[in-house]
Amino acid sequence: MVDLDDLTIYPTLDPLDMLQRIKELPWQCQEAWDDIQGLALPPEYSRVANVVILGMGGSAIGGDLARSLAISECRVPIMLCRDYDVPGFVNEHTLVIASSYSGNTEETLSAFQQARERKAKLLALTTGGKLRDLAENTGIPLYLFSYKSQPRAALGHSFVPLVALFQKVGFVSDKSADLLESIKVMGELQAEISEGVPLEKNLAKQLASAFYNHLPVIYGSGTLSEVARRWRGQMSENAKAWAFFELMPELNHNAVAGYEFPQRLGKEIVVVLLTCSHDHPRTKVRFGVTEELLQRSGVRSVRVEARGLSPLAQMFYTVHLGDFVSYYLALLYGVDPTSIPAIEYLKGEMAKAGMPGSD
């Protein structure tokens, strides 16, 4: 197995420097927050009946996180649409936000065009492509950013602007202090889990080592529900590894019944329980009982308690930790954490079918 404490391996296994992209997340969040402040929105955007965020893959996860952060405050429903078609309820009273890093994501463009035909209120987040052209040519409010990376590594630009936009239209309270706390928490975490910190003191390296040749299953709840999804996605794209996620308390009504068989599989699974101080009191009890059930079934579990006071800071703490874990796991498997050959192959096959490539 690769020695994660041998710093000479990093340039070879990570030629495009995904590690630096991960480390830039705190800075990226501050830049995105500052940049979005200058975007003016029509007054009617604050009077919509519902919100639909369009996106796929790394461009959609920011919407997931923003929705889970806003859900306890927002007076209108917010949903994610990961498909070619918008829901039937979308109309002139709907705010539709298209998030596409490249601006050429075919599913997002298809759904965005449908939303435009239905006279929805529209907004776009992108670096360019067809989405940028459509927004600029038709006067759609546009958050245009420049950050060279894989879409999943541009999380600051897909998540933070949505939080700021929700604040602008009155869906959530002022999050500026929470963002500053988030940046501070991530900076402190980096000091503990960066590549120069040895395995014996480095939680991210320890979790990656536990995941190596095992199946990671991530449990999350409340504001950390979509963080669990983020962990799953990062394990797949960065480490090229199988991973799954489940949500509490729902998993207590089905998944826990399936710990028994096949018995050999239990030894190959490592469950991570993402918890925080904002979890519902009853959910906290459920996490404890679930740990007991996992132990009885011979399944290894690790609890990760989020740091920070605000929900936003706790989300960013666990997101940042998961990004580092997936990075170290990629190195353990000896794969480039940036490249995504399976997705590139799929894009090529879709292009042969007469469709443009997607994120």
Residue 356 confidence (pLDDT):
52
- State the average pLDDT over residues 265-285: 97
Residue 96 pLDDT exceeds 70: yes
Q: Residue 110 burial by CB count (10 A; 0-12/13-18/19+): exposed, middle or buried?
A: middle
The confidence band for 358, taking pLDDT boundaries of 50, 70 and 90, is: very low
Q: What average pLDDT does the chain have?
A: 97
Residues of CATH 3.40.50.10490 domain(s) within the chain? 7-14+199-333, 18-174
Measured CA to CA in angstroms, residue 150 lies from 24, 92, 202 at distances of 13, 33, 26
Share of the chain above pLDDT 90, in %: 97
pTM given for the model: 0.97
b/e per residue, 134-172, with b = 16+ CB within 10 A? bbeeeebbbbbbebebbbbbbbbbbbbbbbbbbbbbebb
Instruction: Tell how strand 215-221 and strand 269-275 pair up.
Output: parallel
Fold of 18-174: Rossmann fold (3.40.50)
Minimal CA–CA distance to 55: which of 68, 47, 43, 65? 65
Residue 338 pLDDT exceeds 90: yes
Architecture of domain 7-14+199-333: 3-Layer(aba) Sandwich (3.40)
The confidence band for 355, taking pLDDT boundaries of 50, 70 and 90, is: low
Residue 357 pLDDT exceeds 60: no
Backbone angles phi, psi at 247, to 5 degrees: -115, 135
Using one digit for the tens of pLDDT, what is the confidence trace for 104-140? Answer: 999 999 999 999 999 999 999 999 999 999 999 999 9
* Residues designated as active site: 237, 253, 347
Contact criterion met (CB below 8 Å) for 30 and 164: no
| Strand stretches in 295-339, DSSP E | 300-305
The confidence band for 253, taking pLDDT boundaries of 50, 70 and 90, is: very high
